[in-house]
Structure 1
Amino acid sequence: MSPLRIILVGLGARAQFWMRVIRDNPDCTIVGLVDPSEAARNRALEQWPGAIAAADVSLLGQIEADAVLLATPPGGREAQMEAACAAGLPILAEKPLADGVELAARYVEMAEAAGVPLMVGLNFRFLPVTQHAMRLMDETVGAPEFARFTYERWRDGWKPNFNKYPLTMDQPMLWEQSIHHFDLMRYVYKSEPVQVFGKTFNPSWSMYRDDANVSALITFANGITVNYQGLWQSNWQAPGFQWRSECAKGVVIQNDQFGDLNYALHGDAALTSVLLPSYEQWINDAVALLAAFVAALRGTAPLLCSGRDHLSSLRMVQACILSSQLGQAINPADLDFGAKREIGNPSNPTALQQRTSL
């Protein structure tokens, strides 16, 4: 088969990873590059001289392509989604799909109405540590019953290789980072949340305009309860991470976001470390994500991380925000955000800000 022809929209920090991953995949190639920044377009063209570059998404309807990859911020994607659907191009979009559930639901309905496959880049599902943890629960330590998930970080939003929009966005920790964690909980525990009791806050030293820290108690339909703490503004530069799942026969403990997986049965005197395959951060997971997208478009595998499924993780974020505002537990399923109006057609190319998930 001919390589999948991709138009890459947004040429910031995340796009640099994607260009490398696409180059290494013989089933894919880049035919179009879109970004309002002339400097970003020129930099990308040095890597993909055969591609056509443009400042806005009108390019999507002007060249032959098979898919579009949105490496753009969650805000301001209206024109991008419209252009992709109008051109009938399958979409792989960086998470989150939008910075609000209602808007994301409208995007999902738009893609479904156009018959366009929509996949969200939830790359943490594809980490070797995630897959091995699930295997431990299935084969060794038994079903999980409760857990503690702690993510502690002093994220310097002013670092030159980080994009700056999270500094001023609403609830940056939840929309940019916790969305990964909440999605992982749904995926690993194979259940949907039925109750979220959350509190968001911002310490005095925070560089972020809105709340960069969150605590939440999350209950799932199968009875699992997770005590979650996510910090983008801890007050120590050394990061901290631990995801400990208490299971029927023992525990599974992950001590690093990308590895350091261990388990113990109830009577064991010490943890057993799990040997994981070698892993390059932000690359191997993107390789697997892209392969899954290609397989779905080739018809050899189902579409994973669909936009419709992603709405359930976004509802967890929204439920956490609402719970913090109201001071009471919220069932994410009670948040009904269907499409209520037609998407507009903004033509301002500055909506294509460069983004990164770092």
Structure 2
Amino acid sequence: PARPGGTAVSGTRIAVVGAGLIGRRHLALVREHPGCTLVSVVDPDPTARDGHGAPGYPDVPTMLADTAPDGVIVASPNARHTEHVLSCVRAGVPVLVEKPVADTVAGAERAVSAAEDAGVPLLVGHHRRHSPLMAAARETLRRGTLGDVVAVQGSALFRKPDDYFADAAWRREPGGGPILINLIHDVDNLRALCGEIVEVQASTSNAARGFAVEDTAAVTMRFASGALGSVLLSDTAAAARSWEHTSGENPDYPHHPDEDCYVVAGTRGSLGVPTLRLRVYTGEPSWWAPFHTSVLDVAARDPLAAQLDHFVAVVRGETTPLVDGREGLRTLRTTLALTEAARTGHPVTP
């Protein structure tokens, strides 16, 4: 294949849909990847889609009619995910869609079923599943180092600037609040660490910004194992208790290496994530006894880059999706159950 003008194209041919905040990160990673070639950028805004070294298109059908990508990364606004995934599936092109897989369960079910029926790989961008920090935490829990997990505390507290909402009005509307944009990552992380969430309760507030969506939420969870969890979320809180600020995996954010955003506690010990500070009893567990404290040693890596490696391997038929459409749908169901619990004031089973 050749680019317009006759330049040969090598490597896995990737198109990116959506050139916003996260889309630009995907674009940079694709351009830098030695095994990928960026072949097109889709965005309705010509100023957003141009200047990336690849042809720009206003919509997905036009791009697919003119280009033959091996894979497509969908990073458009949440409400457009279903239609963009379906367009790729109908064309038989493997797709990596940013989380959430869709903004509604019905839309997600359509996309997931279509991909399964067509045999087209569908990956959901819960990129923290590719984090070495999460992998080390999961392995610690799998080995039973903490004993039986009984509780988990989580936080997603950060302060988004006003221009974040001025630049993309959809973030002020239903489907664009911090539950679906941010907390869904934490829901997925907690599912990966502690297992399925079988009941949720929540309260939300929009008092700080007054938008049509929440800016703050308090959540409680019951896991299938019997463990309980709580999470505080706010995108108007001047705090550094979020994955972005504690993990150091995204250089766009200041790093606070002394902070955790999760603490998982079991009957014999506890683990802070992402610091990976491990405190366990070496003898009989008792609040009178000292802990043995250590820090797990993990080599850092950008999980978005690792996710792109994985997507390329899936496109080439070398592996199956780590987070497929069905898994993304489970996380979406649980996350939307939180909004339903907040709306009704009653516990909800995802």
Shorter-chain TM-score range: 0.7 to 0.9
SS at match of 1:148: strand
Q: Which residue of 2 aligns with 1:192?
A: 196
Please tell me whether residue 275 in structure 1 is matched to residue 297 in structure 2: yes
Q: Which residue of 1 aligns with 2:315?
A: 297
SS at match of 1:76: helix
What is the CA distance between 1:116 and its match in structure 2? 1.4
Please tell me whether residue 106 in structure 1 is matched to residue 110 in structure 2: yes
SS at match of 1:323: helix
What is the CA distance between 1:134 and its match in structure 2? 1.5
Uncovered stretches (5+) of structure 1, i.e. residues with no partner: 333-358
What is the CA distance between 1:64 and its match in structure 2? 1.9
SS at match of 1:229: strand
Please tell me whether residue 239 in structure 1 is matched to residue 240 in structure 2: yes
Q: Which residue of 2 aligns with 1:349?
A: none
Q: Distance in 2 between matches of 1:270 and 1:154?
A: 35
SS at match of 2:276: strand
The answer on whether the counterparts of 1:152 and 1:230 sit within 8 Å (CA) in structure 2 is yes
- The residue identity in structure 2 corresponding to 1:247 is G
Q: Distance in 2 between matches of 1:331 and 1:36?
A: 38
Please tell me whether residue 84 in structure 1 is matched to residue 88 in structure 2: yes
Uncovered stretches (5+) of structure 2, i.e. residues with no partner: 1-9, 243-260, 282-288
- Once the two structures are overlaid, the 10-residue window that deviates more, 308-317 or 53-62, is 53-62
- The residue identity in structure 2 corresponding to 1:180 is H
Aligned residues: 314
Pair 307,211 (structure 1): closer, same or farther in 2 beyond 3 Å: same
323, 331, 351: which one aligns with 2:349: 331
What is the CA distance between 1:109 and its match in structure 2? 1.4
Q: Which residue of 1 aligns with 2:56?
A: 53
What is the CA distance between 1:152 and its match in structure 2? 1.6
Q: Which residue of 2 aligns with 1:336?
A: none
Please tell me whether residue 158 in structure 1 is matched to residue 177 in structure 2: no
Question: What TM-score do you get using the length of structure 2 for normalisation?
Answer: 0.83
Pair 273,161 (structure 1): closer, same or farther in 2 beyond 3 Å: farther
Name which structure has the greater RCO, CA cutoff 8 Å, separation 6+: 1
Q: Distance in 1 between matches of 2:290 and 2:136?
A: 20
Q: Which residue of 2 aligns with 1:123?
A: 127
Q: Distance in 2 between matches of 1:261 and 1:28?
A: 33
The answer on whether the counterparts of 2:14 and 2:70 sit within 8 Å (CA) in structure 1 is yes
Q: Which residue of 1 aligns with 2:185?
A: 180
Tell me the percent identity. 26
26, 31, 34: which one aligns with 1:23: 31
Q: CA RMSD in A?
A: 2.1
Q: Which residue of 1 aligns with 2:331?
A: 313
Please tell me whether residue 136 in structure 1 is matched to residue 140 in structure 2: yes
The answer on whether the counterparts of 1:13 and 1:161 sit within 8 Å (CA) in structure 2 is no
Q: Distance in 2 between matches of 1:161 and 1:264?
A: 44
- The residue identity in structure 2 corresponding to 1:264 is R
Q: Deviations over 1:107-137 (max 9, x none)?
A: 1112222221110110111222211212222
- The residue identity in structure 2 corresponding to 1:193 is I
What is the CA distance between 1:303 and its match in structure 2? 1.2
Q: Deviations over 1:207-257 (max 9, x none)?
A: 5332121112111112221112111222xx232243111123200012xxx
- The residue identity in structure 2 corresponding to 1:216 is V
SS at match of 1:75: helix
Pair 113,214 (structure 1): closer, same or farther in 2 beyond 3 Å: same
The answer on whether the counterparts of 2:209 and 2:215 sit within 8 Å (CA) in structure 1 is yes
Q: Distance in 1 between matches of 2:184 and 2:167?
A: 18
Q: Distance in 2 between matches of 1:164 and 1:261?
A: 37
Q: Which residue of 2 aligns with 1:355?
A: none
Question: What TM-score do you get using the length of structure 1 for normalisation?
Answer: 0.81
Q: Deviations over 1:307-326 (max 9, x none)?
A: 11111111111211111222
Pair 64,74 (structure 1): closer, same or farther in 2 beyond 3 Å: same
SS at match of 1:186: helix
Q: Which residue of 2 aligns with 1:339?
A: none
Q: Distance in 2 between matches of 1:289 and 1:238?
A: 28
The answer on whether the counterparts of 2:82 and 2:110 sit within 8 Å (CA) in structure 1 is no
What is the CA distance between 1:270 and its match in structure 2? 6.3
Q: Distance in 1 between matches of 2:333 and 2:150?
A: 22
The answer on whether the counterparts of 1:217 and 1:225 sit within 8 Å (CA) in structure 2 is yes
Pair 89,183 (structure 1): closer, same or farther in 2 beyond 3 Å: same
Q: Distance in 2 between matches of 1:135 and 1:66?
A: 33
Q: Distance in 1 between matches of 2:75 and 2:176?
A: 20
266, 275, 278: which one aligns with 1:263: 278
Q: Distance in 2 between matches of 1:161 and 1:20?
A: 24
